[in-house]
Amino acid sequence: MAHSLSWQIVVYHVLEGALLSCLTLPCLSSPTPVNGTPNLVSIIVPVIFVVIFIMLLGGTYVFIKKRQTEGPTGPLYASSNPEYLSASDVYIPDEWEVPREKIALLQELGQGSFGMVYEGVARDIVKGEAEIRVAVKTVNESASLRERIEFLNEASVMKGFSCHHVVRLLGVVSKGQPTLVVMELMANGDLKSYLRSLRPDAENNPGRPPPTLQEMIQMAAEIADGMAYLNAKKFVHRDLAARNCMVAEDFTVKIGDFGMTRDIYETDYYRKGGKGLLPVRWMAPESLKDGVFTAYSDVWSFGVVLWEISGLAEQPYQGLSNEQVLKFIMDGGCLEQPENCAERLHNLMQMCWQYNPKMRPSFTEIIEMLKEDLHPSFREVSFFYSKENKPPEMEEYELDFENMESIPLDPASYSQRDEIMGRDSIPSVGLKGNYEEHIPYTHMNGGKKNGRILSMPRSSPS
């Protein structure tokens, strides 16, 4: 910034000198009239200098504006002191960088957590496709450099993912303003909005009936497949909910981009004890109590997503404040069976909500339960049936309540759990049989059996 400012000051002084020269030139030339007629040279020369000055001024202005628009061509730094940079303070353009001229914005789709989201067209960024429709996420013009880098780094999480049931990142435009993230277009929006549009009394109902049990099972399996893939990649989502799943044009449901929808459904989050916003209505007891996030806590959240699908995206724990929900879950409570919900789905929800994390099914086990009722295309596109899906190494998470603070929460540290908690195989709980038989279990704090152990607390009048 200082270098740019000093450069502009030099240009200013050069132009100031040129102006003074052209103003004083007529005096220096001392024209003498010939036969009472002014010397034409004394008129033409100053005019020429004024024209040159205006051209220089205009050219300088255009050059400066162009530099501001193009921005830096190298790494983006968010730290005021380059000698003390962390990985989160810098974004380095890589093979995902897309030339800005290949992206054309068509129409607004809605507001994202960093800025507006647009439908657009991208040319020659996907092999074999000259032009495709895309979703383009932007950063507000008022965003700081650090916010731009945070936006790019959150999108970069998806660079390592390649799964049919996880929304695909297509490219990044980090050079210049505005910063863009180019995503696979999910024409039917997020699952929460889509489910609500299927309510019979919805104003934006697309003319489709509510999903059948078969369609609900298909949705559940597609979400579970995306989560099984992330689990195999040692990635903990920590915010699985209908709002963070996306619906494609062919109604395939995929795990959405991460960390980008928080501001859209701000009321779904709660700030606990001065910490960051937490989606308490989707969180497992061990996450609320001890800040522990694992694949098992994602399974608990998956149970809440099943509940949302069955109830056409009703608010979980409707009528309770966030504080009441937090206490209710930590005390062993869980959601009631939705109205008209098939017993089969409800039993699966209850398995996901077992208080002891080790007794919950894995995502691959969930698909194993559902696979007989899925569309044949699932076998062709899913991670579950791919060669990449190896038999999972089941890990037992001994929750050390005295040392919970030592367990890091960020997804990148998920692979470090082996060193913290040890590796023992989880005892089989017979999940691959008939899952309509509900398996008894004991809570980690002892004594309590499964089932509806608490009555739903009443919300305080307000």
Extract the annotated binding site for ATP: 137
Structure confidence at residue 156 (pLDDT)? 82
Say what the pLDDT of residue 45 is. 74
Q: What is the pLDDT of residue 127?
A: 87
- The crossing angle, in degrees rounded to 10, of helices 213-232 and 343-352 is 20
Distances (CA, A) of 117 to 5, 146, 176: 34, 20, 18
> Residue 393 phi/psi, 5° resolution?
-85, 105
DSSP code of 454? Answer: S
Is the bond preceding residue 461 a cis peptide, omega within 30 degrees?
no
The helix or strand, by DSSP H or E, that contains position 70, with its residue range, turns out to be helix 40-70
Q: Average pLDDT in the 256-279 region?
A: 57
pLDDT tier for residue 79 given thresholds of 50, 70 and 90: very low
Question: What number of other Cβ atoms are within 10 A of residue 49's Cβ?
Answer: 17
Residue pair 251/188 in contact (Cβ under 8 Å)? The answer is yes
Indicate whether 291 pLDDT > 80: yes
In this prediction, residues 135-156 reach a mean pLDDT of 84
Q: Which residues of 165-182 are buried (b: 16+ CB within 10 A; e: fewer)?
A: bbbbbbbbbbbebbbbbb
What mean pLDDT is predicted for residues 434-446?
32
What pLDDT, on a 0 to 100 scale, did the predictor assign at position 274?
52
Residue labelled with tokens 């960088």: 97
- The predicted structure's pLDDT at residue 268: 54
Q: Same fold for the domain at 91-184 and the one at 191-421?
A: no
Q: Alpha carbon of 27 to those of 13, 15, 23, 43, 388: distances in Å?
A: 22, 20, 8, 11, 85
Residue 114, pLDDT > 50, answer yes
239 is catalytic: yes
Token pair 């998470």 is found at: 397
Give long-range contacts, CB 8 A cutoff, 24+ apart: 264-269. 264/110, 264/111, 264/112, 264/113, 264/190, 265/192, 268/241, 268/243
Considering the domain 191-421, what is its CATH architecture? Orthogonal Bundle (1.10)
| Res 32: pLDDT | 52
What pLDDT is attached to residue 176?
83
Angstrom distance (rounded) from CA 209 to CA 186: 20
- What is the per-residue DSSP string for 167-235? PPEEEEE-SSSS-EEEEE--TT-BHHHHHHHTSTT-TT--S-PPPPHHHHHHHHHHHHHHHHHHHHTT-
50-59, 63-72, 131-140, 273-282: which has the highest mean pLDDT? 131-140
Question: Which residue among 239, 257, 268, 298 is the active-site one?
Answer: 239
CA dihedral 382, 388, 392, 393 (to 10 degrees): -160
Return all residues near 226 (Cβ < 8 A) that are at least 6 apart.
Answer: 163, 165, 166, 254, 255, 383
Find tokens 């300088």 and name the residue: 60
Domain segments of the chain as ranges? 91-184, 191-421
Asked if 150 contacts 156 with a C-beta cutoff of 8 angstroms, the reply is no
Kind and range of the H or E element at 278?
Answer: strand 277-278
Q: Which of 17-21, 126-130, 134-138, 149-153 has the lowest average pLDDT?
A: 17-21
**Dist. CA 144–CA 148, nearest whole Å:** 6
Q: What is the pLDDT of residues 336-393, one digit of tens each?
A: 999 999 999 999 999 999 999 999 999 999 999 999 999 999 999 999 999 999 765 5
CA distances from 443 to 126, 262, 420, 428 (A): 50, 32, 22, 17
Q: Is the pLDDT of residue 68 over 70?
A: no
Mean pLDDT comparison of 2-16, 84-98, 219-233, highest-scoring range: 219-233
Show the DSSP H helices in 282-410 as ranges.
285-290, 295-310, 322-330, 343-352, 363-370, 377-381
Cα 316 to the chain's mean position, in Å? 22
Q: Which two tokens stand for residue 352?
A: 């996901």
User: Looking at 39-53, 245-259, 288-302, 447-461, which range is the least confident one?
Assistant: 447-461
What is the CB-side half-sphere exposure of residue 440 using CA atoms within 13 A?
4
CATH class, 91-184 region: alpha beta
Q: Which helix (H) or strand (E) holds 58?
A: helix 40-70
Q: Tokens 């983006």 belong to which residue?
A: 76
Token pair listed for 431: 């999940």
pLDDT > 60? residue 260: no
Of 379, 389, 353, 358, the closest CA to residue 228 belongs to 389
Query: Contact, 450 vs 350, CB < 8 A?
Result: yes
Phi first, then psi: give them for residue 77, nearest 5 degrees: -110, 135
**For 180-202, how does the pLDDT look when each residue is reduced to its tens digit (9 = 90+)?**
999 999 999 999 999 999 999 99
SS3 for 83-137, per residue? CCCCHHHEECCCCCECCHHHEEEEEEEEECCCCEEEEEEEEEEECCEEEEEEEEE
